[in-house]
């Protein structure tokens, strides 16, 4: 793991390659609505985990739509994630974003030699567009 972080810090081309990638995760279904989302996200920073020496913490920047309990949701019962009133709490919103984004990020970092279970999603920055 230290090899990946060392390579990430020293090689600008690899750092730019990782940060340039835009990931998309989408499930839109009228029948099963509890899992509906349409998110785009980018990796903004990767650092070593404080508690586990083999783990990495990945910060992301996110935009898109997520299932909500709001009256102004669309036909798939999703709302824009920048509207705070559309969700019960920002903690719950960010937890669900971490779950959806964690799968894609861990699969991508596996190409660089990082094990899937060693990837954590840290800070989630909510933006209008990427």
pLDDT tens figures, 4-34 = 888 888 888 988 888 888 988 877 666 665 6
Position 58 confidence tier, pLDDT thresholds 50, 70, 90:
very high
For tokens 């390579």, name the residue. Answer: 7
Q: Where are the domains of the chain?
A: 2-126
First-residue to last-residue Cα distance in the chain: 29
d(CA 68, CA 65): 9
What tokens does 120 get?
């954590």
- 108 burial class (0-12, 13-18, 19+ CB within 10 angstroms)? middle
Q: Is the pLDDT of residue 76 over 70?
A: no
Q: Report residue 42's pLDDT band, with 50, 70 and 90 as the boundaries.
A: very high
SS3 call for 107: helix
């Amino acid at each position: 793991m230290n090899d990946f972080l060392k390579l990430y810090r020293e090689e600008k081309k690899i750092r730019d390659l990782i940060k340039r990638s835009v990931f998309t995760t989408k499930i839109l279904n009228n029948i099963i609505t509890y899992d509906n989302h349409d998110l785009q996200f980018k990796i903004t920073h990767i650092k070593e985990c404080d508690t586990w020496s083999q783990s990495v913490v990945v910060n992301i920047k996110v935009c898109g739509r997520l299932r909500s309990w709001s009256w102004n949701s669309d036909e798939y019962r999703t709302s824009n994630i920048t509207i705070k009133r559309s969700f019960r709490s920002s903690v719950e919103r960010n937890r669900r974003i971490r779950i959806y984004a964690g799968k894609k990020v861990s699969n991508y970092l596996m190409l660089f030699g990082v094990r899937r279970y060693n990837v954590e999603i840290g800070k989630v920055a909510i933006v209008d567009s990427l």
